Structure 1
Amino acid sequence: MNTRNTFKIVALSVVLLLASCGLNEIDNYEGPNASIYGAIYDAETKELIQQDIVRGAQIEYVEHGYANPQTQYMVIKNDGTYQNKLMFANTYTIRAVRGNFVPSASQEIKVSGNTTHNFEVIPYVRIKNPNISQQGNKIIATFDLDKTVDNSLQRIGLFAHSEINVGEPLHKVSAQQTINGPVDEGNTYHLEIDLTQHSTNLMKGKSYYFRIGALMNASEAKFNYAPALRITIQ
C-alpha cells in the first residue's frame, strides 16, 4: 500500500470518529421534560374566550438562558384552551398575541412538571344571548353585542361547517354583514342562511356546526365568537 492510500485511510477514519463523537453528543441531549396547559379567560366574566385555530390568536414564548433565543408559538384551541407537552423545565417569557382581545403585557413564568398558566384578557366584544335554529328553509341567528372598547364594529357573521372548528377562516357557508359603525348594545342582531340556496353544502339529514362571530375594527383583531352549535338539517 502506497503512502497516498495510507493517508486517505487514516483521514477517513478520523472523520468517521469525529462524526461518531458528534452524534453521540446529540443523542445524549435530554428531551422535553415538562408541559404547560391553560386557557384564555375573559377577565370580567371568567368565561373562556372562543377562538379560531386557523389564523387565530397564538401564544408566543421565549425560553430564558440563551444568547439569541428564538420566539416559539403555541396554537390556541377552538374553545380557548391550549396545551404543549414538549416543554423544557425553565423560565419563559410568555404572552397571548394577535387575538380577539385587548393586547396584554408579557409575563415571566417557571415551567416545571405539569404547569398550568391561564391568561385573563378583555375581549374586544362579547356575544350575548346567542340563538341559532332552523326555521323552515332557513337557519336563523339572533344575538346581542356587549362592547368593551370604543372601536367600531367592522363585521358580523354566521358560519357553517361540518367541523366544530367552524369560523371565518373555516366555513362552507356563511352569512356576513358589513357594519363599519358603532356597536348598538340596544339592538338584537339578525343573520340568516337560506338552505335552498346552499343545498349542496348543507344537505338535509346531515349535521353541521353553526357559529356566530363579530369582528371589531382594531389592529390584528380576530373574530369574537359564541360557542358552535350542532344542528341536523331537516
Structure 2
Amino acid sequence: MEIKNIIKLATLSLLLQLSACGLSEIDNYDGPNAAIHGGIYDIETKELIQQDIVRGTQIEYVEHGYANPQTQYMVVKNDGTYQNKLMFANKYTIRAVRGNFVPPPSQEITVSSNTEHNFEVLPYVRIKNANISQQGNKIVATFGLDKTVENSLQRIGLFAHTEINVGEPLHKVSVQQTINGAVDEANTYRLEIDLAQHTTSLMNGKPYYFRIGALMNAGEAKFNYAPAIRITIQ
C-alpha cells in the first residue's frame, strides 16, 4: 500500500475516534453577554482613589452557580476606575483586595448588560495640597498628609516616568524618604529630585510625569497617591 494511502487511512481513523468521543462537536456555548464598570471611591470625600496598575489593587470576583467556581480578577486603572466587558449575566461575589485602603467586606451583586458597581472605601492616608514644579535644576514636591487610620507612616516618595502610570512599581527616577512614625498633619512634606544627577533619565526638553506617594504600615497596603503631573524639563 502506498504511503499516501496509509496516511489517509490513519487520518480517517483519527477523525472517527474524535467523533465518537464527541470532540468534533461545534462549540455552541454562548459568549459573554454582560459588562461591569465602576470605580474605587473615598467613602468620605467621594473622590476616586489613585492607584498603581502594576502590583496594585485587584477586584476579585466569583461567579455563582458552579460547584467549584474559580476566582477571577480585574485590574484597577491608574485613576481608580475599572471595566470588564467580558462578563456573563449572573450573580457574583465581588470584593476589592490588596489595595491602598482598609479592606471592605465581600458583596453579592447581579451583573447584567452594563452594570455599574462602585466601591466606597477608606484610604489609608490622603495626600492634600500637592504641588510639583521645576525650580531651577530641581523638581520639587510639597504636600500635606491627612491621617485616616492609626497606623504609622512608613515612607513617602516622588516618582518620575514617561508614562502617566508612574508610581513606586513603575518609575525611571524616584526619591523616597523613610519615616516609620506618626503622620504629622500640620507638616508640609518636601521631596526633591536633583536633575543634574539624572541627566540620562530625565532629559532636557522632554516631558515626564511626576507623582507623589505615601505608604502606611498596614498589612498589604500599597502607596496612596496624588494625581500625576506632566512637566517638560527645561
Please give the TM-score of this superposition, normalised by the length of structure 2: 0.93
Q: Which residue of 2 aligns with 1:210?
A: 210
Within a 5 Å distance, the mapping from 1:109-148 to structure 2 comes to 109-148=109-148
Contact 2:156 2:178 in 1 (8 A): yes
Percent pairwise identity: 80
Q: Which residue of 2 aligns with 1:15?
A: 17
Does residue 1:219 correspond to 2:219, yes or no? yes
Distance 1:197 1:15 in 2: 69
- Which residue identity lines up with residue 209 of structure 1 in the other structure? Y
Secondary structure at 1:186's aligned position in 2? coil
Q: Which residue of 2 aligns with 1:156?
A: 156
Distance 1:13 1:22 in 2: 9
Q: 1:133 to 1:15 in 2, by over 3 A?
A: same
Q: Which residue of 1 aligns with 2:35?
A: 35
Q: Which residue of 1 aligns with 2:103?
A: 103
Please give the TM-score of this superposition, normalised by the length of structure 1: 0.93
Q: 1:100 to 1:23 in 2, by over 3 A?
A: farther
Distance 1:214 1:156 in 2: 4
Runs of 4+ residues deviating >3 angstroms: 8-14
Secondary structure at 1:17's aligned position in 2? helix
Distance 2:11 2:34 in 1: 46
Shift of 1:178: 0.2
Number of aligned residue pairs: give it: 228
Q: Which residue of 2 aligns with 1:58?
A: 58
Distance 1:12 1:56 in 2: 48
Structure 2 residue ranges without an equivalent (≥5): none
- Which residue identity lines up with residue 202 of structure 1 in the other structure? L
Shift of 1:11: 6.2
Of the structure 1 ranges 9-18 and 182-191, higher mean CA displacement relative to structure 2 is found in: 9-18
Secondary structure at 2:19's aligned position in 1? helix
Distance 2:134 2:19 in 1: 71
Shift of 1:17: 1.7
* RMSD over equivalenced CA pairs, Å: 1.8
